[in-house]
Amino acid sequence: MNDRADKKAARATADQVAREANVSRVAVSRAFNPNASLKPEKRDRILKVARALNYTPDMAARSLVTGRSHLVGMIVPDVCSPWESQEIDALTTALQAEGFATLLFKVKADFSMDPRLLTYMRGFNPDSVIAFTENILPDVLCSFLDRAVPIYVIYDDVEQFAGAASGTLYDRLLVRQKNGIEQAVALLQGYGARRIAYLGGKAQSLANAERERTLKETLAERGMDAPVVLAGDYTYDTAYQATLDLFRVGDGADAIFAANDVGAFGAIDALRHELGLSVPDDVKVVGFDDIPQAHWKSYNLTTVRIDLEERVRALVRLILMRLRDPDSEPLTETLNTRLIVRGTVG
Amino acid sequence: MNDRADKKAARATADQVAREANVSRVAVSRAFNPNASLKPEKRDRILKVARALNYTPDMAARSLVTGRSHLVGMIVPDVCSPWESQEIDALTTALQAEGFATLLFKVKADFSMDPRLLTYMRGFNPDSVIAFTENILPDVLCSFLDRAVPIYVIYDDVEQFAGAASGTLYDRLLVRQKNGIEQAVALLQGYGARRIAYLGGKAQSLANAERERTLKETLAERGMDAPVVLAGDYTYDTAYQATLDLFRVGDGADAIFAANDVGAFGAIDALRHELGLSVPDDVKVVGFDDIPQAHWKSYNLTTVRIDLEERVRALVRLILMRLRDPDSEPLTETLNTRLIVRGTVG
DNA sequence: TTTGCTAATGAACACGTTTTCATTTTGTGA
DNA sequence: TCACAAAATGAAAACGTGTTCATTAGCAAA
List pLDDT tens digits, range A14-46: 999 999 999 999 999 999 988 888 888 889 999
Residue A6 has pLDDT above 50, yes or no: no
Residue A56 CA to residue A67 CA, distance in Å, equals: 18
Nucleotide nearest to A30 (CA to C1'): D18
Q: Which helix (H) or strand (E) holds B289?
A: strand B284-289
Answer whether B60 sits within 8 Å of A56, measured CB to CB: no
Q: Are B128 and A8 in contact (CB under 8 A)?
A: no
Band the pLDDT of B204: cuts 50, 70, 90. Answer: confident
- How high is the pLDDT of residue B6? 40
Residue A181 CA to residue A45 CA, distance in Å, equals: 60
In sequence order, the 6+-apart residues with CB closer than 8 A to the CB of A1 are none
Q: Are A104 and A74 in contact (CB under 8 A)?
A: yes
When scoring B3, B4, B98, B116 by the number of chain A Cβ atoms within 10 A, the one with the most, hence best to mutate, is B4
- How high is the pLDDT of residue B165? 46
pLDDT, tens digit, 9 for 90 and up, residues A268-288? 999 999 999 999 999 999 999
Average pLDDT over every residue of A38-57? 90
Q: Which residues of B touch A71 (CB under 8 A)?
A: 103, 124
- How high is the pLDDT of residue A333? 86
- How high is the pLDDT of residue B154? 65
Sequence length of chain B is: 346
The residue that leads in pLDDT, A139 or A49, is A49
What percent of chain A is predicted at pLDDT more than 70? 86
Residue A57 CA to residue A46 CA, distance in Å, equals: 13
Q: Which residues of A touch B138 (CB under 8 A)?
A: none
Average pLDDT over every residue of B61-75? 93
Which positions of chain C lie under 7 Å from any protein Cβ?
A: 7-12, 14-20
Residue B146 CA to residue A103 CA, distance in Å, equals: 21
The rounded Cα B299 to chain-centroid distance in angstroms is 24
Least Cα separation, residue A86 to chain B (angstroms): 5
Residue B228 has pLDDT above 60, yes or no: yes
Ranking A55-59, B106-110, B219-223 by mean pLDDT, the lowest is B106-110
- How high is the pLDDT of residue A334? 87
Max avg pLDDT among A225-234, A313-322, B140-149, B205-214: A225-234
- How high is the pLDDT of residue A129? 86
- How high is the pLDDT of residue A251? 94
Least Cα separation, residue A243 to chain B (angstroms): 14
B327: nearest CB among A5, A56, A99: A5
Band the pLDDT of A147: cuts 50, 70, 90. Answer: low
Residue B221 has pLDDT above 90, yes or no: yes
Average pLDDT over every residue of A135-151? 66
- Whether the ω angle into residue A115 lies within 30 degrees of 0, i.e. cis, is no
Which positions of chain D lie under 7 Å from any protein Cβ?
A: 7-12, 14-20
Least Cα separation, residue A152 to chain B (angstroms): 16
Q: Is A4 on the interface with B (CB under 8 A)?
A: yes
pLDDT, tens digit, 9 for 90 and up, residues B231-286? 999 999 999 999 999 999 999 999 999 999 999 999 999 999 999 999 999 999 99
Beta pairing partners, A250: none
What percent of chain B is predicted at pLDDT more than 90? 60
The residue that leads in pLDDT, A291 or B139, is A291
Q: Which helix (H) or strand (E) holds B322?
A: helix B308-324
Q: Is B123 on the interface with A (CB under 8 A)?
A: yes
Chain A: residue whose CA lies nearest to B329: A4
- How high is the pLDDT of residue B145? 67
Residue B150 CA to residue B172 CA, distance in Å, equals: 10
Q: Is A29 on the interface with B (CB under 8 A)?
A: no
Partner B, chain A 248-287, Cβ-Cβ below 8 Å: 265, 268-270, 272-274
pLDDT, tens digit, 9 for 90 and up, residues B180-196? 999 999 999 999 999 99
Band the pLDDT of B63: cuts 50, 70, 90. Answer: very high
The residue that leads in pLDDT, A31 or A154, is A31
Q: Which residues of A touch B4 (CB under 8 A)?
A: 169, 326-327
Straight-line distance from CA A63 to C1' D7, in Å? 36
| Protein residue minimizing CA–C1' distance to C12 | A26
Band the pLDDT of A88: cuts 50, 70, 90. Answer: very high
A96: nearest CB among B106, B236, B270: B106
Nucleotide nearest to A64 (CA to C1'): C15
- How high is the pLDDT of residue A120? 86
- How high is the pLDDT of residue B166? 45
Q: How many CB pairs under 8 A join A and B?
A: 188
Residue A153 has pLDDT above 80, yes or no: no
Q: Is A109 on the interface with B (CB under 8 A)?
A: no
pTM: 0.89
Average pLDDT over every residue of B322-342? 85
Q: Are A80 and A89 in contact (CB under 8 A)?
A: no
B63: nearest CB among A60, A99, A103: A60
Chain B: residue whose CA lies nearest to A119: B56
Q: Which residues of A touch B82 (CB under 8 A)?
A: 80, 82
Band the pLDDT of A326: cuts 50, 70, 90. Answer: confident
In sequence order, the 6+-apart residues with CB closer than 8 A to the CB of B148 are B73, B122, B125, B126, B127, B128, B129
- How high is the pLDDT of residue A164? 44
- How high is the pLDDT of residue A136? 66
Ranking A51-65, A169-183, B9-23, B140-154 by mean pLDDT, the lowest is B140-154
Chain B: residue whose CA lies nearest to A170: B4
Residue B101 CA to residue B70 CA, distance in Å, equals: 6
Beta pairing partners, A255: A196, A284
pLDDT, tens digit, 9 for 90 and up, residues B151-165? 776 665 554 454 444
When scoring A106, A117, A170 by the number of chain B Cβ atoms within 10 A, the one with the most, hence best to mutate, is A106
Q: Is A108 on the interface with B (CB under 8 A)?
A: no
- How high is the pLDDT of residue B54? 87
Tell me the average pLDDT of chain A. 87
Band the pLDDT of B61: cuts 50, 70, 90. Answer: very high
Tell me the average pLDDT of chain B. 87
Q: Are B239 and B288 in contact (CB under 8 A)?
A: no
Partner B, chain A 286-305, Cβ-Cβ below 8 Å: 292-293, 296-299
- How high is the pLDDT of residue A273? 97
Nucleotide nearest to A13 (CA to C1'): D16
Residue B155 CA to residue A131 CA, distance in Å, equals: 35
- How high is the pLDDT of residue A110? 66
Residue A2 has pLDDT above 50, yes or no: no
Half-sphere exposure of A46 (CA within 13 A, CB side): 28
Sequence length of chain A is: 346
Burial tier of B47 (Cβ tally within 10 Å: 0-12, 13-18, 19+)? middle
